[in-house]
Structure formats: structure tokens, C-alpha cells
């Protein structure tokens, strides 16, 4: 991948990843209101907004972040499985996306219930566990990506050795 394309993909990837974190924060705020408000209309509105925010912002941003992350890894010397920090980032991101996609239908079901007249009883309690843990994992991913802690996987170690030997042969 040329440096120009790397920069472009990096900009897109950063925008999607940071946007994902921001959207989860917005969702968490709505979840807190759904859990703590004593006003039934606020609880109802919060659940409807959580459903919309989840499907319209969090899911597209999460999938976009995962895909651009894969492109960035495969298109650069970092690779996907060569460094522990990339591998852990990939595993955590896939985990977050899977949990998100499994969880959102439940959110939609509660939001549908909330939209229907006379069925607000399931709205209390909010949705705090998933966005709280999700936010913690996303922040951990961000720290990993900024600090890039050292550590080469056995696969990365073999690749480095092959590269060195190839360079020695060519020298």
C-alpha cells in the first residue's frame, strides 16, 4: 500500500473508531437516563433513541472500524498476526462487534415494547452493562493502538526470521 493510501485509510479508520467511542458514550448517557429517570416519557424516549443510535450509528461505525482496521493491518508491514498488540486489538474488536450485533435485537425489542401504548413496565433498568463494558474495551483498544506495546507472536517471529534470511541471501 502506498504512503498516500495508508494516510487516507488511517484517516478513515481513526474517524470511524473515534466515532464509535463517541456513539457508545451517547448511548450510555441514554441508558443512564432510562435507568434512573422517574419520568415515563423520558424512559420511553431514551429507549427509542438508544435503538436508533445503536442501529444507525454504533453498528455502522463498529463494522466500518473493523473493516478499515483489517485493511490497514493487511496493507502495512504490521500484518494481522505478527504483533500481540494488533492481534489483541483484532480479537477485542471482533468480540465487541459480535456482542453488539447479538445485543441490538434485544434493544430493538424493548424499544418496540416502549413504543406500544400501555407497555412501559419493561423500560426501567436501562441498558448500562453492555455499553459500560463496551466503552472500557474500546478505550483499552485505543490505549493499545497508541502505545503499541512490544511483543512479537511466534508467527511474526518466523516471518521476521524468513525476512532476515532472504535479506542475507540477497546481500
Partner 1 sequence: MTNPDEESQPDAPEHGAPPPAPRWVKVFAIVLGIILLSVIILHATGHRMGGHGGHRISDHGQHSSGRTAMIAPGDNV
CB-CB contact of 61 with 25 (8 Å): no
The nearest distance, CB 134 to partner 1, in angstroms, is 11
CB-CB contact of 95 with 137 (8 Å): yes
The nearest distance, CB 90 to partner 1, in angstroms, is 10
Q: In terms of CB distance, is 45 or 88 closer to partner 1?
A: 88
The rounded distance, in Å, linking the Cα atoms of 99 and 133 is 11
Residue 152 phi/psi, 5° resolution? -105, 135
Q: In terms of CB distance, is 25 or 140 closer to partner 1?
A: 140
The rounded distance, in Å, linking the Cα atoms of 110 and 123 is 7
Q: In terms of CB distance, is 25 or 139 closer to partner 1?
A: 139
Is residue 118 packed enough to be buried (19+ CB in 10 Å), middle (13-18) or exposed (0-12)? exposed
Q: In terms of CB distance, is 24 or 86 closer to partner 1?
A: 86
The nearest distance, CB 61 to partner 1, in angstroms, is 13
The nearest distance, CB 95 to partner 1, in angstroms, is 9
The nearest distance, CB 44 to partner 1, in angstroms, is 9
Which residue is it, cell 434485544? Answer: 106
CB-CB contact of 94 with 66 (8 Å): yes
Q: List contacts with partner 1 (CB under 8 A).
A: 6, 10, 13-14, 17, 31, 38-40, 43, 47, 69, 72-73, 76-78, 83-84, 86, 88-89, 92, 106-107, 110, 117-130, 133, 136, 140-142, 145-146, 148-154, 156-158, 160-161, 164
Amino acid at each position: 500500500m502506498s504512503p498516500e493510501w495508508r494516510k487516507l485509510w488511517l484517516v478513515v479508520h481513526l474517524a470511524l473508531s473515534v466515532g464509535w467511542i463517541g456513539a457508545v458514550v451517547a448511548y450510555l448517557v441514554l441508558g443512564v437516563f432510562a435507568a434512573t429517570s422517574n419520568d415515563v416519557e423520558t424512559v420511553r424516549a431514551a429507549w427509542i433513541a438508544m435503538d436508533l443510535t445503536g442501529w444507525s450509528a454504533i453498528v455502522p461505525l463498529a463494522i466500518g472500524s473493523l473493516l478499515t482496521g483489517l485493511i490497514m493491518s493487511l496493507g502495512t508491514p504490521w500484518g494481522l498476526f505478527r504483533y500481540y498488540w494488533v492481534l489483541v486489538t483484532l480479537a477485542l474488536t471482533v468480540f465487541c462487534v459480535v456482542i453488539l450485533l447479538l445485543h441490538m435485537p434485544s434493544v430493538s425489542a424493548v424499544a418496540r415494547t416502549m413504543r406500544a401504548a400501555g407497555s412501559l413496565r419493561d423500560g426501567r433498568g436501562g441498558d448500562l452493562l453492555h455499553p459500560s463494558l463496551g466503552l472500557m474495551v474500546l478505550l483499552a483498544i485505543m490505549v493499545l493502538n497508541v502505545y503499541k506495546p512490544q511483543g512479537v507472536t511466534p508467527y511474526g517471529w518466523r516471518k521476521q526470521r524468513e525476512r532476515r534470511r532472504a535479506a542475507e541471501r540477497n546481500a
